[in-house]
Amino acid sequence: MLMSKYFASYAAWMKATCRADIEIRLVAHAILCVFMFATNAQAEQIDLLTIDSAISEAKRNSPALAAQNEKANAMAEVPSQVGTLPEPRLILNAANFPVDTFAVDQEAMTQIQIGISQTLPFPGKLDLRQAVATLDAQVASQDLEETRLQLVKNVTSVWWNLFYLDRAIDIVRRNQELLRQFVAVAQTKYKVGKGLQQDVLLAQVELSGMLDTEIRLRSMRLGQQARLNGLLNRPADRDLRLPDEVDEHLFGVGAIEELFQQANEQRPLLAIRRKEIKTARSRLELARKDYMPDFNLGAVYGFRNGQNPNGSARPDLASLMVSINLPIHAGTLQDRLVKQRSSEVLGQEHRLADVRNMVRTEISGAFADYQAARKQAELFREGIIPQATQTVASMRAGYEVNKVDFLNLVRSQITLFNYETRYWQVLSEAHQAMARLLAAVGKETINE
């Protein structure tokens, strides 16, 4: 639209300035063309969403990732809290006042007391509590990494699915144009008595089928676009424009046993389960420590008024206190807690084994899917599509000289359409399988 308006205005300008020197007009024309094409190219770059920019935006704007990050930050503040002694208590006490007069100097034991007390957990308990909280904070941090990996996997999968749909829509539109040309050729041959009416009808039916396919693909694209917008924290109905071309090279991924080893070392989910085992063991050790009593130390200073019978002033009094809790309910409290913590340790060990099997299953499935899609993409790109393209060209040339019937021509074009569409689909599937594989291993890129 922009270029057509430009050429219309340019034609009017050429007529109005027909007396000007032709070289000046050519130079001006060249300058305007360069300017308009540059402006148009710049406009096309607006809101172009590449896979890298989509991943970066998702990391930056994802509410789920932000929430997990704040949770990790909050958990990091806990260890120092639980590893600190309980705050001391200030004691203020009015003791032994006579109820008849409430005089402070009437009775020898009447006193105003001030003191302080401090609870001291049994040695080792605070360290264990801090160790448990530190492990919980590390689990929250690993949860953040796992959330980030899953976000990258989801964004990559949806982006490539959207890219495939764009290519499929482009292919179906090009095939619609070719079928329109076929209809025109068939109609021309029919009018001059060299073709059949059924050829025209066949081409129109296939064209209608292509239009139906485009409607279906566009509907699917709207759904995938909404999903990607959601992952990017954008409005669901915001239009997205993806690049028309991508690097179609698919990397090798090495041996599957190496991937298993990398996952064992790098996958945050496995690290979480291992840390949860350590946490459960620390809690078990802390439960065993609960058989040991905590201590409470206190000191009180009492101020007295009045005089002794011999006339001397009553001296102030000082008191020291030590108290401990007595584990008299060990059978229903400490023993039960130790059994609970022991079961939790065994449960976490089983969970680690289960997650390890799940990760290996994820890797195996994604690895197989990637290898199959990679081989298919190579076969389509280097073998099937070039051969099908040559076949269509040969069929079309033969049809124009009445050496190929129209049905075979249409069938060859539809076959090429299916192969081209299938190529972009398997390329998309390969990248989606790679995204699942990387997430299962615990990496964001293949080069990590």
| Mean pLDDT of the 204-218 span | 87
**Euclidean distance between CA atoms 416 and 418, whole angstroms:** 5
Sheet containing 317-324: give its strands across. Answer: 89-95, 111-120, 295-303, 317-324
Tell me if 447 is assigned to some domain.
no
Specify which residues 90 forms β-bridges with.
Answer: 116
Specify which residues 299 forms β-bridges with.
Answer: 116, 320
Tell me if 29 is assigned to some domain.
yes
**Euclidean distance between CA atoms 288 and 277, whole angstroms:** 17
> What pLDDT is stored for residue 25 in this prediction?
35
Could you tell me if 322 and 231 lie in one domain?
Answer: no
Tell me if 53 is assigned to some domain.
no
Q: Domain range for residue 303? A: 86-120+292-326
Q: What is the sign, positive or negative, of the torsion defined by CA atoms of 411, 413, 414, 419?
A: positive
Could you tell me if 181 and 149 lie in one domain?
Answer: yes
What's the domain count of the chain? 3
**Euclidean distance between CA atoms 50 and 328, whole angstroms:** 67
Question: Both tokens of residue 136?
Answer: 């919980």
Could you tell me if 319 and 184 lie in one domain?
Answer: no
> Which has more pLDDT, 361 or 202?
361
Please say whether the beta carbons of 370 and 431 come within 8 A.
Answer: no
Question: Both tokens of residue 381?
Answer: 């790109």
> End of a domain among 301, 326, 351?
326
Q: Is the pLDDT of residue 13 over 80?
A: no
Please say whether the beta carbons of 181 and 212 come within 8 A.
Answer: no
> End of a domain among 300, 326, 352?
326
Q: Quick one: pLDDT band at residue 41, thresholds 50, 70, 90?
A: very low
Residue 357 to residues 242, 268, 444, Cα–Cα distance (Å): 37, 15, 21
**Euclidean distance between CA atoms 18 and 15, whole angstroms:** 5
Three-state secondary structure call for residue 89: strand
Could you tell me if 354 and 302 lie in one domain?
Answer: no
**Euclidean distance between CA atoms 111 and 306, whole angstroms:** 10
444: region left, alpha or beta (phi > 0 left; psi from -120 to 50 alpha)? alpha
Tell me if 52 is assigned to some domain.
no
Could you tell me if 114 and 209 lie in one domain?
Answer: no
CA-based nearest residue to 356, from 424, 267, 283: 267
Could you tell me if 217 and 111 lie in one domain?
Answer: no
CA-based nearest residue to 154, from 365, 445, 428, 432: 432
> End of a domain among 270, 302, 326?
326
Tell me if 346 is assigned to some domain.
yes
Could you tell me if 310 and 426 lie in one domain?
Answer: no
Please say whether the beta carbons of 144 and 69 come within 8 A.
Answer: yes
Q: Is the pLDDT of residue 39 over 50?
A: no
Rounded to 5°, the CA angle 75-78-80 comes to 140
Across all residues in the chain, what is the average pLDDT?
Answer: 85
Q: Is the pLDDT of residue 142 over 70?
A: yes
Q: Please, how many CA atoms are within 13 Å of residue 443, restricted to the half-sphere of its CB?
A: 17
**Euclidean distance between CA atoms 143 and 149, whole angstroms:** 10
> What pLDDT is stored for residue 447 in this prediction?
63
Tell me if 420 is assigned to some domain.
yes
Which residue has tokens 């032994």? 96
Q: Is the pLDDT of residue 14 over 90?
A: no
Could you tell me if 40 and 8 lie in one domain?
Answer: yes
Could you tell me if 90 and 23 lie in one domain?
Answer: no
Residue 400 to residues 187, 248, 409, Cα–Cα distance (Å): 12, 35, 10
Three-state secondary structure call for residue 248: coil
Could you tell me if 244 and 360 lie in one domain?
Answer: yes
CATH number assigned to the domain comprising residue 353:
1.20.1600.10
> What pLDDT is stored for residue 6 in this prediction?
37
Q: pLDDT tens-digit profile of 221-231?
A: 999 999 999 99
Question: Both tokens of residue 79?
Answer: 């260890």
Q: pLDDT tens-digit profile of 269-283?
A: 999 999 999 999 999
Could you tell me if 365 and 382 lie in one domain?
Answer: yes
Report the range of poorest mean pLDDT among 48-57, 194-203, 405-414. Answer: 194-203
Could you tell me if 414 and 273 lie in one domain?
Answer: yes
Specify which residues 118 forms β-bridges with.
Answer: 297
Q: pLDDT tens-digit profile of 100-118?
A: 888 888 888 999 999 999 9
> What pLDDT is stored for residue 58 in this prediction?
95
